[in-house]
Amino acid sequence: MDTQENRGRALFQKICLYFAPLLSAAVNYILEKDTLQTVFSNGIFMVLLSSGYLVFLRTSGKGLYQRIRHQGIFWGCFILSFLFLGICPVRNAGVLWLLVVAFAAMEAGVELAVSLHVLLMTGYVILVLLEGGDLYAFAVATLFGLLLAILFSLYRTREATAYLAVILLAVNGVLQLVRYRLNMHALLAHGEQIASEMAGILVMVFLGFFYLKHARNREQTGKEPGARREEENASEEMLERESLERLLEEEFSLAVELREYSGDLYRHSCQVSDLAGRAADAIGADGLLARAGGFYHEMGRMAGSKNYIEAGKALGEEHSFPEKLQTVIRQHSPNYEIPGSPEAAVVMLSDCILSTSDYLTKSGMREKLTDEKLVHNVIRNRLSKGNLRDSGITVEQLEALQAYFTAHAFEKGDAGI
């Protein structure tokens, strides 16, 4: 894991997440020639909007942005969308402010696209609706953006381009009729704006066609063997992440079995899963893998076997667990196998910290030990036994883990899968 590269990428994403909405507010101020109080207020709203979305990305644990293959194009579309959003209340920008929704749907699927649509619509409320915008226009933009996300997520072949264009144009036409209450005079009066929106749809469809024809073609042809292997690895990683997400669904058969087998074990598994996932994210490790490893780390106990690790391994094979997850589950207990990755180490430490706290609470000794001291003792104990020597965790990451566990391991609340 290249921690420095991950940190650089995370910093770049943060810059874009804050810059684009602020750019939108600044452009809107310049065009509207509004008061400084208004632009300051809008700027504060936009900062809060970016912060809220950043929190969503960090807590969702689904690695949404890791699915994007062309990060440069994506963030370019992200900035352009907010630029057009700042322009649209004053100048005719059509629907081009939904550009990043279309691209995200093609690259990463409908889930990321919808989350971005919600982000943009919130910006729309701040810049347009609160300044006397039309509720019907807001409703049209909301519905059209959702449809855009769904259709572009299904856009896989260039042959479907004409169908996509016709459907989007037809739906937009119907929405415009509803927006202006079937009033032909109103439709004619706003003809330029409607034409601009139709043109924007055609531009987005053309860009989608161009992307399929060139960007994806270059991915599939003329590659060196190493590049093809990288793509295959990326595809395998995406399938693996989808598998992990499926395993963490509340109604997945094995999760249901665990819940029905023992409420205490299920509760402990949820707590370890939640803490390990958040802690792994905090140090730049794979939070989804740690979350799954934490949830299933003691599933072998359902088999009633003395060696619950081996029993868990058999269950994992039966339910087609990814090999990385199987490894994390085996390595959460250093008595069986010491951690060989940051994710396995985080699961081990999360389990040990929570179990130690529970034991001390039941014995009436917990109040005599501060959170900081408990975490410090657990980590020092694991270090002294050499349990972390093969984990790949750096000194900086270990310090960050200790600080994170101290601050968040004992927070009250119901942890879910």
Query: CATH code for 242-408?
Result: 1.10.3210
Q: Average of pLDDT values for 139-165?
A: 89
Q: Average of pLDDT values for 286-310?
A: 91
- At residue 2, the pLDDT reads 42
What is the rounded distance in angstroms from the CA atom of residue 264 to the CA atom of residue 269? 9
Domain residues of the chain, as ranges?
3-220, 242-408
What is the rounded distance in angstroms from the CA atom of residue 77 to the CA atom of residue 104? 9
Q: Average of pLDDT values for 9-29?
A: 84
Q: Average of pLDDT values for 190-215?
A: 86
Q: Is the pLDDT of residue 47 over 50?
A: yes
Q: Which residue has the higher pLDDT, 148 or 219?
A: 148
The percent of residues in the chain predicted with pLDDT above 70, rounded, is 88
User: What does the pLDDT look like over 354-370, one tens digit per residue?
Assistant: 999 999 999 999 999 99
Q: Which residue has the higher pLDDT, 234 or 307?
A: 307
Residue showing tokens 């909007």:
49
